[in-house]
């Protein structure tokens, strides 16, 4: 036997194919699928990428760059946006409050109140609707000259919280913000 292949499936569990040739073709045309031969078993798996959008302004509580949702609210509070843009930002923030779970825990240790907040939130690349709304906030910020950086990684750090749309992770020592 050259290889044992079970199937390639979406994270939701939908089986796309179990044909060896199809699997190789899928992996060769996607930067999000890896294929590894482990002994006699050919393993195909989806690589999850994590995404953050940040601005140069730093949070006073963590000294990390503000992520896009907080940045939009920060600049809205400062009166940067038009009335219409401000209403749109508040509507997007309201949507995130309703559709993005709040982590119960954001540190690896239970008694970390004496430290600055180190964990950072990352969208999963599969959270398409959430990323769409975050990108709209990016557009609004950039339309006023605010530089927004998109950061992607496969290694967000020590994951302290995870749900369907995001992870919260304390960065590894060799990981930059």
In a domain, 177, yes or no: no
Looking at the structure, tell me whether residues 28 and 88 fall in a common domain.
no
Looking at the structure, tell me whether residues 42 and 54 fall in a common domain.
no
Q: How many domains does the chain have?
A: 2
Looking at the structure, tell me whether residues 109 and 95 fall in a common domain.
yes
Looking at the structure, tell me whether residues 123 and 42 fall in a common domain.
no
Domain assignment of residue 16, given as a range: 8-46
Looking at the structure, tell me whether residues 71 and 110 fall in a common domain.
yes
Q: Which residues contact 170 (CB under 8 A, 6 or more apart)?
A: 107, 108, 118, 119, 120, 157, 158, 160
Of 59, 11, 63, which Cα lies nearest the Cα of 32? 11
How big is the chain, counted in residues? Answer: 177
Residue pLDDT tens, the chain, 177 long? 344 444 545 555 454 555 556 656 655 555 555 656 556 555 656 677 899 999 988 776 667 789 999 999 999 999 999 999 999 999 999 999 999 999 876 666 665 554 555 789 999 999 999 999 999 999 999 999 999 999 999 899 999 999 999 999 999 887 655
101-153 per-position pLDDT tens digit:
998 766 666 655 545 557 899 999 999 999 999 999 999 999 999 999 999 99
Looking at the structure, tell me whether residues 92 and 136 fall in a common domain.
yes
Task: Give residue 168's region: left, alpha or beta (phi > 0; psi -120 to 50).
Answer: beta
Q: Please give the span between the terminal C-alpha atoms of the chain, in angstroms, as a whole number.
A: 46
CB 59 within 8 A of CB 66: yes
Looking at the structure, tell me whether residues 22 and 64 fall in a common domain.
no
CB 99 within 8 A of CB 130: yes
In a domain, 1, yes or no: no
In a domain, 133, yes or no: yes
């Amino acid at each position: 036997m050259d290889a044992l292949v079970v199937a390639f499936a979406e994270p939701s569990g939908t089986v796309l194919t179990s044909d060896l040739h199809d699997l190789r073709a899928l992996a060769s045309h996607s930067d999000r699928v890896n294929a590894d031969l482990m002994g006699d078993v050919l393993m195909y798996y989806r690589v999850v990428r994590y995404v953050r959008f940040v601005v140069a302004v730093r949070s006073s509580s963590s000294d990390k760059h503000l992520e896009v949702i907080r940045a939009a609210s920060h600049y809205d509070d400062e009166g940067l946006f038009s009335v219409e843009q401000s209403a749109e930002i508040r509507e997007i923030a309201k949507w995130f409050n309703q559709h993005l779970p709040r982590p119960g825990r954001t540190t690896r240790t239970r008694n970390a109140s004496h430290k600055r907040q180190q964990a950072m939130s990352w969208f999963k690349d599969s959270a398409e609707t959430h990323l769409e709304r975050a990108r709209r906030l990016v557009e609004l910020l950039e339309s006023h000259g605010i530089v927004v950086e998109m950061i992607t990684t496969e290694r967000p750090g020590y994951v302290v919280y995870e749900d369907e749309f995001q992870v919260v992770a304390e960065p590894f020592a060799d990981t930059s913000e």
